[in-house]
Copies of this chain bind each other. A is one copy, B any other.
Amino acid sequence: MPLTERFTTLLKNHGLKKTPARLRVLEILTKSSQAIAYSEIEHQMKAVADRVTLYRLLISFEEQGLIHKTFDHQGTAKYALCQANCDIHTHHDEHVHFNCTQCNGTFCLDTVILPAISLPKGYSASSYQFAITGICKNCRG
C-alpha cells in the first residue's frame, strides 16, 4: 500500500482530518529510524505549516495514539510513530528507549523485554518509562 494511502486511512481511523501538514509529519516520522525532536521535525517540514500548528498537530497525534513522546537524557521531547495499534484510550507501545550521548539519537527498542517491577505499598502504576543512556550502535568506533 502506498504511503499516502496508508496515512489517509490512519488519519481517518483516528478521527483526524487529512491536511498537508499532517501528511508531511507522518511522512517524516515514517522515514526516520529514530524518535525525533520538535526542532528536527520543524526543520524537515520546510515551512509547510506554522510552528503553532506543528505543536497542536503533535498533541493531537499523541492523544489519538498515532505517535508517542519520550524525553531523552537531556530532557528534550522526542516523537516517534506508534508501532502497535494505539488509540485515544490506550497506548500499547511501552518499550525501552535508548539515548545516545554522542549523537543525541533516541531509539525505540521494541525487542527488549521490560521486566516486572514491584512497587512499594500505596503507589499504583499506570505506565512505565524505561530509558537507557549510552553509546548507540552507529556511534561505536
Contacts and interface: CB of A to CB of B under 8 A. Distances in A.
Interface of A: 71, 73, 75, 77, 96, 98, 101, 107, 109, 111-112, 115-137, 140
A69 to B, nearest CB: 8
Contacts of A107: 123
Contacts of A131: 128-131
Contact of A117 (B112, B118, B128): B112
A126 B133 contact: yes
A12 B69 CA distance: 41
A20 to B, nearest CB: 28
Contact of A130 (B101, B121, B122, B129): B129
B124 A135 contact: yes
A126 B134 contact: yes
A13 B40 CA distance: 42
B98 A129 contact: no
Contact of A112 (B120, B122, B132): B120
Contacts of A132: 117, 119, 123, 125, 127-129
